[in-house]
C-alpha cells in the first residue's frame, strides 16, 4: 500500500495542484518560493498537530473573503483548503483500508480520501460577522479641514474577523472519495458530493492516521545551536549551590569511575545495531572515524547524567590495539557529519517507533525531509536517498515506507533520474499573484528514437546543472562564453544588471549542435531561456569550400552560405541560409509562447556590425563569439597590451587594411590559431571599462532582463505583523 497521488487546493501558492508520488522516493525541486515546503507542511497540519492561519489560504481567497464581507460577491461556498490523498492498494492489503472503500463493488482502483478545512456553517459565519461589524465603536468625527489618522475598530473587513475567529468558525472535515466519479485527470464530476468519513465512534482523523504515519525532518535543524545546554547549566548551578561538600575522597571517585565504565558498556550495547547501520553510509572523515557513544558522568554534573557522541580515531590499516583508540568530542567533527548523523538517527528513530507499534500499526510510513544536502559533500548527496531507503526497507511486505525529499541539490536530482522528480513551476495565470503548477518529470522519461532524454540525463549527471532551481537559463555555445558570461552581465546597464544579478540564472554550456536537445525540457519546465549561439557559417552545398575544404567553414558573408548550427536550423529561428538568419526579425528570434511551447525563449547570434580601423569603416559579420568580440572592439584588441587575448595581428611595421585585418582575425579564430580558453581568461583579467559587450549578446541579455520580473511573494501582511512567505 502506498500513496499514488495527492491534490492540494487553496493552500498558499498551491491553488490547485496534483502531485504524483513515486512508490519509494519522490523528489520535489523548483526555484525558491515555488511551493515545495507548502506541499510538505499541509501534511503536518492535517495529519499532525499543526494549525492553519488565515494567511495559509491562497491570495485570491483573501480577496474573495473581503469581497464577500463587502457584499460584492456571493460565492457558492466560502474558500476551503483541501487535500485529496489517493492510495494504491493491493487486494491482500484491502482489509487495512476497508474504512475508505466507497462501495462493495470495488475492483482494483485507487482508494481516496479528502481532508478539508472548511466553515462549520457559512451562513451563520456571515451573520456573526455582520453582527460584529454592527457592534463596532464609531470613531469621533474630526474637525472640518483636519487631516488625521482615523481609528478603524475591529472588524473592519471580513479577513479581520477571520484572523481572530478562524478556528472558531472553521473546522476539519473528512470524506471518502469514489474513483469512479473522477475522470482520468482525477477531476471530480461537477455534481459529485463525497461521503463523510468517520462517525461518532471513530473520527475521520483517526481513520486517516491508522492508514499512514507521517514524520518530518525540517530544513532548520539548528546543528550549531547551543541553547540545548541551558538546562544542564542550570542543574550544575543548582548542584554547586546546594551540595554539602565537594566529592574529594578516593572511594567516591572510584565508585563513580566504575559506574561510568559500566554505563559505557551499556550504551555500547544499546547503540550497537544503530551504529553498525551508520557504518554502511561510508561518510569520509578524519582517519575514517567511527562513532562511539560515551557517558558524561563526572562529579560536578552527576545529576545530569547525560550521554554524548565521540569520534573514534581508528586506523583502517591496523588491527585494534589493546588500549582503545583515542576519541574526540562531538564538536571536533564537521557540520556535514553532524547533519548526516542527525538525519539518520532521526529517521531510524521514526522507523523504530512505527515498527514498535504492536496494535493498529499504520501500513504506510511517510517520511518527509527538507533539504537534506546541507553541509553534505557531493558524493554523499548523490547516494543519500538510496542509502536512506536501504536503511528503511522493511522485510514485512505488508508495510511500506515512502520518502519525500525537497532539495536544491543537483546531485540529488541527477542520481535519481527524471522518474521520481516533481518540478514546482511558478506561473501567473494572468492574475496579479503568482501560483505554482507541479510537473511530473517522468512524463519526460519516454525514450525516443534520437535518444534525447538519455542525452539530457547523462548531461545532467556529468555536469553541475542546476536548471531545475533557476529563475532563468542561459544556454551558451562554448567554454569561452560560459567563462565570461558573468562578466558580460556585469557590463550591462544598471537596471538590466540589477535585474539579472538579482535572479538565479543558470549558465549551461551546450554547444550549437546540442542546444536544441534541451527544447522539450525547457518548454516542459516553462523556464525563461536565452540561447547564445554562433552563426557557424559553412560553404553552400556542392561548393568546393576553397582553401578550407577540410572543414567547410567559410566567412559569414560568403554568398549562399548556410549554417551548420542545429539550434538555428531546428529550434530558433528555424532557418538555414545565413542571409535569412541575418535578416530574421525579433519575432523570429523570440516568438511568443504558445500552448505547446509555453516557455519564453530567445536566440542571440552574430549580426552585421560596422567596424572602424584606421579611419576605414565596413560592415563585418562574424561566425563565432571571439570573432564578434574582435570586430566590436577592433582597436582595443590590436593594442600591444592585449597580446594575451590572442586576437592581435602582428603588423610587421605596416598597419593592415580593414579587409586584410578582418580576414586574418577570421582565419586565426576559425582555423585553429586561437586558444579560446586563454582568450576568455585574458578577457577576465582585462579592465572591463576598456571593452564593450558584443552587440548580439547585449541585445539578448537586455531581452532576458526585461523578461524577468520580480516574483511576488504570495504571503499577505497582517496589520500587526509580517507573515512568513509561502514556499
CATH number at residue 352: 3.40.50
Q: Domain of residue 174: give its range.
A: 1-134+152-219+340-455+712-727
Q: Which of 290-304, 436-450, 584-598 has the lowest mean pLDDT?
A: 290-304
Together in a domain, 199 and 276: no
What would the grid cell of residue 521 be?
A: 525540457
Between 220 and 27, residue with greater pLDDT: 27
Residue 646 lies in a domain: yes
Q: Is the pLDDT of residue 557 over 70?
A: yes
Residue 401 lies in a domain: yes
Per residue in 359-409, pLDDT (tens digit) is 889 999 999 999 998 778 787 788 888 888 888 776 566 789 999 999 999
Q: Is the pLDDT of residue 437 over 80?
A: yes
Q: Is the pLDDT of residue 152 over 90?
A: no
**Count of structural domains within the chain:** 3
Q: Is the pLDDT of residue 712 over 70?
A: no
Per residue in 206-252, pLDDT (tens digit) is 999 999 999 999 887 655 544 444 333 433 444 454 444 444 556 66
Single out the residue of 453, 474, 535, 494 nearest to residue 704, CA to CA: 474
Q: Is the pLDDT of residue 143 over 70?
A: no
Q: Is the pLDDT of residue 460 over 80?
A: no
Q: Is the pLDDT of residue 65 over 90?
A: yes
- Which pLDDT belongs to residue 653? 66
Which H, E and C letters describe 132-149, residue by residue?
A: HHHCCCCCCCCCCCCCCC
Together in a domain, 201 and 252: no
Together in a domain, 407 and 300: no
Together in a domain, 662 and 720: no
Residue 140 lies in a domain: no
Q: Is the pLDDT of residue 95 over 80?
A: yes
Do strands 421-427 and 400-406 pair parallel, antiparallel, or not at all (unpaired)?
Answer: unpaired
Label residue 308 by pLDDT band (50, 70, 90).
Answer: low
Together in a domain, 157 and 26: yes
**Cα-based distances in Å from 627 to 491, 492, 536, 602, 675:** 19, 20, 11, 22, 13
Residue 461 lies in a domain: no
Label residue 107 by pLDDT band (50, 70, 90).
Answer: confident
What would the grid cell of residue 195 be?
A: 461521503
Together in a domain, 166 and 69: yes
According to DSSP, the residues that pair with 308 across neighbouring strands are: 294
If you average pLDDT over residues 182-197, what whole number do you get?
95
Residue 463 lies in a domain: no
Together in a domain, 128 and 200: yes
Q: Is the pLDDT of residue 583 over 50?
A: yes
Together in a domain, 409 and 500: no
Together in a domain, 500 and 352: no
- Which pLDDT belongs to residue 658? 95
Together in a domain, 538 and 631: yes
Together in a domain, 639 and 497: yes
d(CA 567, CA 515) in angstroms, rounded, equals 6
Is the Cβ–Cβ distance between 588 and 601 less than 8 Å? no
Q: State the burial class of residue 127 (Cβ atoms within 10 Å of its Cβ: 0-12, 13-18, 19+).
A: exposed
Q: Which of 53-67, 151-165, 253-267, 308-322 has the lowest mean pLDDT?
A: 308-322
Residue 146 lies in a domain: no
d(CA 431, CA 425) in angstroms, rounded, equals 15
Together in a domain, 292 and 357: no
Label residue 266 by pLDDT band (50, 70, 90).
Answer: confident
Between 40 and 494, residue with greater pLDDT: 40
Is the Cβ–Cβ distance between 505 and 532 less than 8 Å? no
Q: Is the pLDDT of residue 268 over 90?
A: no
Q: Is the pLDDT of residue 356 over 90?
A: no
In this structure, the number of other CB atoms found within 10 A of the CB of residue 546 comes to 12
If you average pLDDT over residues 689-709, what whole number do you get?
95
Which residues does 370 contact at the CB level (< 8 Å), separation at least 6? 37, 40, 216, 217, 218, 219, 406
Quote the radius of gyration of the chain (alpha carbons, Å): 33
Mean pLDDT of the chain: 83
If you average pLDDT over residues 268-291, what whole number do you get?
64
Residue 144 lies in a domain: no
Place of cell 544556454: 475
Per residue in 631-656, pLDDT (tens digit) is 999 999 999 999 999 999 987 767 88
d(CA 431, CA 206) in angstroms, rounded, equals 39
Between 361 and 345, residue with greater pLDDT: 361
Residue 224 lies in a domain: no
Q: Is the pLDDT of residue 597 over 80?
A: yes
CA triplet 76, 77, 80: central angle to 5 degrees? 145
If you average pLDDT over residues 307-331, what whole number do you get?
64
What would the grid cell of residue 630 be?
A: 574582435
Amino acid at each position: 500500500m502506498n500513496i499514488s497521488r495527492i491534490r492540494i487546493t487553496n493552500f498558499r501558492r498551491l491553488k490547485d495542484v496534483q502531485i504524483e508520488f513515486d512508490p519509494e522516493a519522490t523528489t520535489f525541486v523548483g526555484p525558491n518560493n515555488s511551493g515545495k515546503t507548502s506541499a510538505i507542511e499541509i501534511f503536518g497540519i492535517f495529519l499532525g498537530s499543526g494549525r492553519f492561519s488565515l494567511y495559509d489560504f491562497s491570495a485570491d481567497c483573501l480577496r474573495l473573503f473581503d469581497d464577500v464581507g463587502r457584499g460584492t460577491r456571493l460565492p457558492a461556498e466560502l474558500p476551503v483548503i483541501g487535500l485529496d490523498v489517493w492510495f494504491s492498494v493491493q487486494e491482500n492489503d484491502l482489509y487495512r483500508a476497508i474504512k475508505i472503500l466507497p462501495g462493495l463493488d470495488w475492483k482494483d482502483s485507487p482508494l481516496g480520501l479528502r481532508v478539508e478545512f472548511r466553515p462549520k456553517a457559512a451562513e451563520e459565519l456571515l451573520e456573526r460577522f455582520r453582527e460584529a461589524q454592527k457592534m463596532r465603536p464609531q470613531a469621533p468625527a474630526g474637525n472640518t479641514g483636519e487631516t488625521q489618522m482615523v481609528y478603524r475598530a475591529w472588524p473592519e473587513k471580513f479577513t479581520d474577523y477571520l484572523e481572530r475567529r478562524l478556528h472558531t468558525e472553521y473546522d476539519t472535515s473528512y470524506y471518502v472519495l469514489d474513483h469512479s466519479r473522477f475522470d482520468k485527470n482525477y477531476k471530480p464530476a461537477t455534481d459529485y458530493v463525497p461521503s463523510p468519513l468517520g462517525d461518532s465512534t471513530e473520527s475521520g482523523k483517526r481513520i486517516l492516521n491508522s492508514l499512514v504515519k507521517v514524520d518530518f525532518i525540517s530544513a532548520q535543524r539548528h546543528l550549531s545551536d547551543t541553547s540545548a545546554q541551558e538546562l544542564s547549566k542550570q542543574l550544575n548551578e543548582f548542584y554547586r549551590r546546594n551540595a554539602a561538600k565537594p566529592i574529594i575522597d578516593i572511594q567516591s571517585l572510584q565508585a563513580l569511575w566504575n559506574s561510568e565504565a559500566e554505563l559505557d558498556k551499556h550504551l555500547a550495547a544499546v547503540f550497537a545495531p544503530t551504529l553498525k547501520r551508520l557504518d554502511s553510509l561510508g561518510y569520509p572523515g578524519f582517519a575514517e572515524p567511527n562513532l562511539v557513544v560515551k557517558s558524561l558522568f563526572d562529579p560536578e554534573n552527576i545529576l545530569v547524567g547525560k550521554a554524548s557522541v565521540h569520534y573514534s580515531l581508528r586506523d583502517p590499516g591496523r588491527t585494534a590495539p589493546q588500549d582503545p583508540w583515542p576519541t574526540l568530542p562531538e564538536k571536533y567533527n564537521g557540520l556535514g557529519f553532524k547533519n548526516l548523523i542527525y538525519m539518520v538517527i532521526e529517521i531510524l528513530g521514526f522507523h523504530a517507533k512505527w515498527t514498535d507499534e504492536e496494535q493498529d500499526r499504520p501500513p504506510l510510513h511517510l517520511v518527509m525531509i527538507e533539504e537534506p544536502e546541507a553541509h553534505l559533500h557531493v558524493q554523499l548527496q548523490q547516494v543519500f536517498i538510496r542509502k536512506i531507503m536501504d536503511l528503511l526497507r522493511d522485510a514485512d511486505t505488508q508495510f511500506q515506507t515512502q520518502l519525500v525529499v525537497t532539495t536544491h541539490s543537483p546531485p540529488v536530482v541527477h542520481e535519481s533520474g527524471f522518474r521520481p522528480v516533481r518540478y514546482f513551476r511558478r506561473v501567473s495565470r494572468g492574475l496579479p499573484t503568482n501560483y505554482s503548477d507541479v510537473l511530473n518529470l517522468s512524463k519526460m522519461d519516454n525514450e525516443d528514437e534520437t535518444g534525447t532524454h538519455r542525452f539530457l540525463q547523462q548531461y545532467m549527471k556529468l555536469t553541475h546543472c542546476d536548471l531545475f532551481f533557476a529563475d532563468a537559463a542561459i544556454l551558451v555555445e562554448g567554454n569561452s562564453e560560459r567563462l565570461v558570461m558573468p562578466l558580460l552581465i556585469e557590463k550591462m546597464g544598471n537596471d538590466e544588471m540589477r535585474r539579472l544579478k538579482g535572479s538565479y540564472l543558470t549558465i549551461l554550456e551546450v554547444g550549437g549542435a546540442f542546444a536544441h536537445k534541451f527544447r522539450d525540457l525547457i518548454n516542459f519546465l516553462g523556464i525563461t531561456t536565452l540561447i547564445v549561439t554562433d552563426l557557424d557559417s559553412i560553404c553552400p552545398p556542392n561548393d568546393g569550400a576553397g582553401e578550407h575544404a577540410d572543414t567547410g567553414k567559410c566567412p559569414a558573408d560568403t554568398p549562399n552560405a548556410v549554417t551548420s548550427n542545429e539550434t538555428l536550423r531546428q529550434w530558433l529561428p528555424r532557418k538555414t541560409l545565413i542571409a535569412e538568419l541575418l535578416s530574421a526579425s525579433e519575432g523570429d528570434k523570440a516568438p511568443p509562447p504558445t500552448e505547446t511551447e509555453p516557455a519564453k525563449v530567445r536566440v542571440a547570434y552574430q549580426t552585421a556590425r560596422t567596424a572602424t580601423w584606421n579611419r576605414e569603416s565596413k560592415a563585418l559579420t562574424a561566425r563565432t563569439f571571439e570573432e564578434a568580440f574582435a570586430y566590436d572592439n577592433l582597436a582595443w584588441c590590436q593594442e600591444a597590451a592585449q597580446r594575451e587575448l590572442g586576437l592581435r595581428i602582428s603588423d610587421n611595421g605596416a598597419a593592415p587594411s580593414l579587409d586584410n585585418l578582418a580576414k586574418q582575425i577570421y582565419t586565426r579564430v576559425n582555423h585553429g590559431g586561437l586558444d579560446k580558453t586563454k582568450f576568455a581568461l585574458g578577457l577576465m583579467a582585462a579592465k572591463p571599462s576598456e571593452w564593450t559587450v558584443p552587440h548580439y549578446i547585449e541585445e539578448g541579455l537586455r531581452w532576458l532582463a526585461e523578461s524577468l520580473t520580480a516574483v511576488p511573494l504570495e504571503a499577505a501582511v497582517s496589520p500587526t505583523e509580517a507573515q512568513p512567505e509561502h514556499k
